[in-house]
């Protein structure tokens, strides 16, 4: 299923949309954009649905990602690239 807010562009690249309050100038926005410069790691956890059998669905861990670009503000549309395994 295609989710316009969060979807895979290809097998290594994810489009993700932030919360409505996130801007490129906000603390969270700056930390996403500048995570490498700030020495921060961003890790990707994904779940297909919010619920499974009436309870919170588990997440799948995909590993660290790196910021590639963004568009917009409140919310931000961000492109992340999965880091290849070392």
Query: What is d(CA 21, CA 11) in angstroms, rounded to the nearest whole number?
Result: 29
Query: What is d(CA 50, CA 81) in angstroms, rounded to the nearest whole number?
Result: 23
pLDDT tens by residue, the chain, 86 residues: 445 578 899 999 999 999 999 999 999 999 999 999 999 999 999 888 889 999 999 999 999 999 999 999 999 999 999 986 54
Question: Residue 2: its pLDDT value, please?
Answer: 47
């Amino acid at each position: 299923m295609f989710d316009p807010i969060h979807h895979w562009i290809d097998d290594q690249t994810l489009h993700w949309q932030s919360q409505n309050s996130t801007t490129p100038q906000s603390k969270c926005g700056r930390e996403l954009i500048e995570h490498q410069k700030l020495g921060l790691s961003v890790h990707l956890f994904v779940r297909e649905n919010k619920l499974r059998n009436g309870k919170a669905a588990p997440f799948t861990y995909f590993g660290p990602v790196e910021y590639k670009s963004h568009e917009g503000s409140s919310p931000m549309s961000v492109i992340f690239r999965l880091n290849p395994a070392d």
